[in-house]
Amino acid sequence: MSDFDSNPFADPEISNPFQDPSVTQVRQAAPPGLEEYNPFTDAKPTPKAAAPTINTQPAIMKPTEEPPAYSQTRPQEQPAAASELLRRQEELERKAAELDRREREMQSLSASGGRNNNWPPLPEKFPVGPCFYHDITVDIPVEYQKTVKIMYYLWMFHAGTLLANLVGCLAWFCVDSGRGVDFGLSILWFLLFTPCSFVCWYRPLYGAFRSDSSFRFFAFFFVYICQFGIYVIQSIGITGWGASGWISALTGLNSSIPVGIIMILIAGLFTSLAVMSLIMFKKVHGMYRTTGASFAKAQQEFATGVMSNKTVQTAAATAASRAATGGFKEQI
């Protein structure tokens, strides 16, 4: 009778108590290996492989380059950095003040109608006045002023050495009357080389840095090489050439030891001049290469200077007029 009352379309497991949702949830939540455990056997349950864990964290993109680590300045480095900044600031302020002073001086010179010659510094009552205008801080750019000052001091050292050579040759002449030629030549070298060195190599160098003139640079190099050769000859001190060099000093020791010592010191001065001249020649040549000067510019400056010279222009005009007159007469 019960079979006839049952619903054939009903779920056959609806009456199964183990299919209740609460029971199945507990079974699914049971730890792995528990259902294989048999308390009546000695074998230990073999745990099932743990299911892979799913990372629920959101994906984070890593940068391709790590940011630089923050580096804090060490306390002992802070005073050095601050002093360096102060030094640079003082240098910039000094250059700005110098440029301002030069600008004011140039304005005052233009207002007064030009600048007067101030070298050599002679008294106002002296019959001969100064021949050149010489002011390194006004004419020379700031980056070249130190080099020009060193060359000016080197020229002064050159003049002082020639004067000392005159004194040494005079002392040698006093102890040896046969050295009159050396004494006379020493006077000639002092009177000749002192002004000529200033005009022939120092003034071209001064003008080259003042106006960035390639022609003046080449004139300086040519004359200064000759001057270096003269320093070498004077430091050698060939007897009878009017120079208290090493040979003359050793010869002077035979006549008088004090005079020989004086001449040895003068020979050392000539040698120092030769060495310092070579060093400064290399330094000026290195600075010349950074100024953009060249031999082509020197040729162009020379041609422009020659053609702009009034004497040359007058001579060229006279020659052209004479040629034209001669040709006209020949045609007649």
Is the sign of the CA dihedral 297, 299, 302, 306 positive or negative?
negative
Q: pLDDT tens across 183-238, in order? A: 999 999 999 999 999 999 999 999 999 888 888 898 999 999 999 999 999 999 99
Q: What is the pLDDT of residues 120-129, one digit of tens each?
A: 888 888 888 8
For residue 312, pLDDT beyond 50 = no
Q: What is the pLDDT of residues 20-51, one digit of tens each?
A: 666 566 555 555 555 555 555 555 555 555 55
pLDDT at 252 over 70: yes
CA distances from 58 to 53, 54, 66, 182 (A): 15, 11, 21, 101
**C-beta separation of 161 from 273 below 8 A:** yes
Predicted pLDDT of residue 103 = 73
| pLDDT score, position 39 | 58
Q: Which of the two residues, 263 and 326, has the higher pLDDT score?
A: 263
Closest CA to 223 of 204, 244, 246, 249: 204
To 10 degrees, what angle do helices 214-236 and 295-308 make?
A: 110
Residues ≥6 apart with Cβ < 8 Å to 45: 33, 34, 36, 37
Predicted pLDDT at 307: 47
Confidence of residue 325 (pLDDT cuts 50, 70, 90): low
pLDDT exceeds cutoff 60 at 64: no
ω before 21 within 30° of 0 (cis)? no
